[in-house]
A and B are shown apart, each in its own frame.
Chain A
C-alpha cells in the first residue's frame, strides 16, 4: 500500500466493520464516526483510489434518487481488522478498562 492512512481514515474503515456485509452509505458513516462530510468524501475518494473501498450505485425502492454505497474490499477489510487490533476503539478500550478494574 502507498501512503499511510490518517486516524480519521482508519476510523472510517473501522466503521464498515460494524455495518452489515461491510457495506455503508456516506451519511451513515458520518454519523457512526463523527467525521463530517467535508472530510469524509476526500477520505472515501482516497480509500477507493487505494482499492480499500469500492463504490457503486444502488437504486432505492421508494422513488428516491440512486444512492452511492460503499463496500470494504478484502484488502480494506484486512486493514480495518489490523487497525482495530492495533488501536481498539474508545468503546472497546472502555470495556477493557472496566474488565481490568
Chain B
C-alpha cells in the first residue's frame, strides 16, 4: 500500500474515532477502498474527514459545552470585577489603602471559586470544566498582572 493511501486510511480512522463512529463514517472509509488512484483516495479522505467533522454531533456538543464553561467563567469574572470596581467607586479611600497583597488574595478567592465550579462540572461536563478553568486562569492572570503593576 502506498504512503498516500496509508495516510488517507489513517486520517479517516482517527477522524471517525473522534468525530463520528457510525455507519456513515464506515461508508466513507470503505468507499475509499474502491478508488483506484492513491492521490484521488487521499483527496477523497480529506473531504470525508471534513464531512465527518462538519456533521459530528460529538464535536458539536464538546464545542457547545466548552462555550458554556467560558460563559460561566465570564459571568463569574464580571461579578468579581464589579465588586472590585464598586469598592473603588463607593469606598475609594478604604480601597486605596488596601495593600496589593489584599487584592491578590481577592483574585485567589476568585480562582478558588472557578476551581469549585470546574470540580462540580468535571465528571458530567468535562469540556465545560476545561473551558471554565482556562478562561478563569486567563482572567485571573490578567488581574494579577494589573495588580502587580499598579
Contact = CB atoms under 8 A, between A and B. Distances in A.
Interface in A7-54: 25-27, 30, 36-42, 45
Nearest to B25: A41
Interface residues of B, number: 20
Contact of B34 (A25, A36, A41, A42): A25
26 contacts: A27-B44, A30-B44, A36-B43, A37-B43, A37-B47, A37-B48, A37-B51, A38-B51, A38-B54, A40-B51, A41-B24, A41-B47, A41-B48, A41-B52, A41-B55, A42-B51, A45-B24, A55-B27, A64-B34, A65-B33, A66-B30, A67-B31, A67-B34, A68-B23, A68-B30, A68-B31
Interface of B: 23-24, 26-28, 30-31, 33-35, 43-44, 46-48, 50-52, 54-55
Given A38-B50, A42-B51, A67-B27, 5 more contacts: A36-B47, A37-B47, A42-B54, A55-B23, A64-B34
